Amino acid sequence: MATEVIMPKVDMDMATGKISKWHVAEGDAVKKGAPLFEIETDKAAMEIDAPADGVIRNISAAEGAIVPVGTAVAFIYAPGEAVTQVSKPVDQSQPATRPDAGKNSGSLAVPASGYFRATPLAKRLARQSGVSLKDVSGSGPRGRIVMADVKAAVVKPLQVLPQHDMVPVDSMRRTIAQRLTRSKQTIPHFYLTVTCDLTNLLNIRESLNAKAPLGSDKSALWKLSINDFVIKALALSLKQTPEANATWTDDFIQRHHASDVGVAVAIAGGLMTPVVRSAETKTLSQISTEVKDLAARARSRKLLPSEYQGGTTAISNLGMYGIEEFTAIINPPHATILAVGAAIENFVAVNGQPVLRSQMKCTLSCDHRVVDGAVGAKLLQAFRSFIEEPALMLA
């Protein structure tokens, strides 16, 4: 039987080899151990010796051809042995010399017959892990694919995943995760959105801020923000809609007398929600001063538990980040939370004419166990009137 002459694997990483020179020609008699051809790899050039005595036949890779490891490039026949064409010539232009041949070190173990040179275990593992043997480079003799090669091919995609850091979970993070997960999983949320016109509010704010008296240190006693108006408006709306100022317990519904409004404050590594108690009874400047103080102490993590526990509703304002609208997760024991977007100038139709107006979108998340759709809508309707006619807050 004829002896196969294959492209040998002379280097661990070698996937293909280039035949740089043949020392023999078709029909030449060769001696075992005599040089047959020269190969070039990425790293080295070397001579390949004849594996047997006989006559060289069926040379299938010409000089310059790049051939996958394990591929038969010729056969050595015993003198007088019948010559059969057992392998198709290696096509020099493709696939071996395709530009991407190196990337997909593929078809390395494929002899001309089209079968993969792979162990049963390698084939089985490839089947199970959905790896195509043509994507696997064989490390065994004559390019045979063994289990370790398939395993390496399976693992490869993982190796290109980005690195990541392990950030320890502190108690605040864990509390946020647990509370919000429980809220979102157990509270049936629904969402209502309104667009509020800010024209009047901005005018009043400007005027109030401009006329703020100076304190002993010559600085203005207040600088009201839109959010201060939002807090007061929501607190008064809850007073008008007492059904929504409530907390669900499994046995009864707590209906709260005061509107205690939590204000979400982003701090390093999480957020806190200090509560402005009985906000409906406080003036805008009182609210403004209180919120500034609570937020500053939240950031330095100096709040007392009594300052952030409880509450009946909350406000999350992402307007300063340019967020137009969003939905927030209710923070128990609250029944609602108001997600406040940015003040944005839009053209609106006034008497059939486009007029530029500042608008703000607010989305109320409601706990449907205590706040039905109409109740939530009533609350939001009241809120909108307070925002659009801030003078009502004085009534």
Q: Name which of 121 and 177 has its Cβ closer to another protein.
A: 121
Which of 29, 45, 78, 121: binder of another protein (CB under 8 A)?
A: 121
Q: Name which of 7 and 59 has its Cβ closer to another protein.
A: 7
CB of residue 150 vs another protein: minimum separation in angstroms?
Answer: 10
What interhelical angle do 226-240 and 199-210 show, nearest 10? 120
> What is the CA angle 45-50-55, rounded to 5?
135
Tell me the C-alpha distance between 320 and 324, whole Å. Answer: 10
Q: Name which of 105 and 139 has its Cβ closer to another protein.
A: 139
Q: Does 13 bind another protein (CB under 8 A)?
A: no
Site string for another protein, 31-60 (x = CB under 8 A): ------------------------------
Candidate segments 76-84, 119-127, 172-180, 187-195, binder of another protein by CB under 8 A: 119-127
Say which residues have a Cβ less than 8 Å from residue 263's Cβ, sequence separation at least 6.
227, 231, 273, 274, 275, 276, 291, 294, 295, 314, 315
Q: Name which of 148 and 253 has its Cβ closer to another protein.
A: 148
CB of residue 123 vs another protein: minimum separation in angstroms?
Answer: 8
> What is the CA angle 153-157-159, rounded to 5?
100
CB 109 within 8 A of CB 116: yes
Which residues, 129 to 188, sit near another protein by CB under 8 A? 139-141, 146-148
CB 229 within 8 A of CB 205: yes
Which of 32, 88, 98, 124: binder of another protein (CB under 8 A)?
A: 124
Site string for another protein, 69-108 (x = CB under 8 A): ----------------------------------------
DSSP H helical ranges for the chain: 120-129, 147-159, 171-186, 199-210, 226-240, 284-299, 305-308, 373-388
CB of residue 78 vs another protein: minimum separation in angstroms?
Answer: 21
DSSP collapsed to 3 states, 315-357: EEECHHHCCCCCCCCCCCCCCEEEEEEEEEEEEEEECCEEEEE
Q: DSSP class of residue 94?
A: T
DSSP code per residue over 157-184: HHHTSPP---PPP-HHHHHHHHHHHHHH
Q: Name which of 146 and 258 has its Cβ closer to another protein.
A: 146
Tell me the C-alpha distance between 75 and 1, whole Å. Answer: 10
Q: Name which of 139 and 312 has its Cβ closer to another protein.
A: 139
Phi (first) and psi of residue 291, to 5 degrees: -65, -40
Q: Name which of 15 and 238 has its Cβ closer to another protein.
A: 15
Catalytic residue among 164, 189, 256, 368: 368
Q: Name which of 122 and 198 has its Cβ closer to another protein.
A: 122
CB of residue 122 vs another protein: minimum separation in angstroms?
Answer: 7
Candidate segments 77-85, 116-124, 198-206, 293-301, binder of another protein by CB under 8 A: 116-124
Cα separations in angstroms, 177 against 50, 82, 167, 169, 332: 70, 78, 14, 10, 13
The greatest distance separating any two alpha carbons of the chain, rounded to the nearest whole angstrom, comes to: 117
Number of residues that bind another protein (CB under 8 A): 12
CB of residue 119 vs another protein: minimum separation in angstroms?
Answer: 5
Q: Does 120 bind another protein (CB under 8 A)?
A: yes
Residue 362 forms beta bridges with which residues? 194, 340
Tell me the C-alpha distance between 266 and 362, whole Å. Answer: 19
CB of residue 137 vs another protein: minimum separation in angstroms?
Answer: 13
CB of residue 33 vs another protein: minimum separation in angstroms?
Answer: 20
Candidate segments 25-33, 121-129, 339-347, 368-376, binder of another protein by CB under 8 A: 121-129
CB 362 within 8 A of CB 339: yes
Q: DSSP class of residue 223?
A: -
Q: Does 122 bind another protein (CB under 8 A)?
A: yes
Known active-site residue 368: yes
* Chain positions contacting another protein, by CB under 8 A: 119-124, 139-141, 146-148
Active site residues: 368
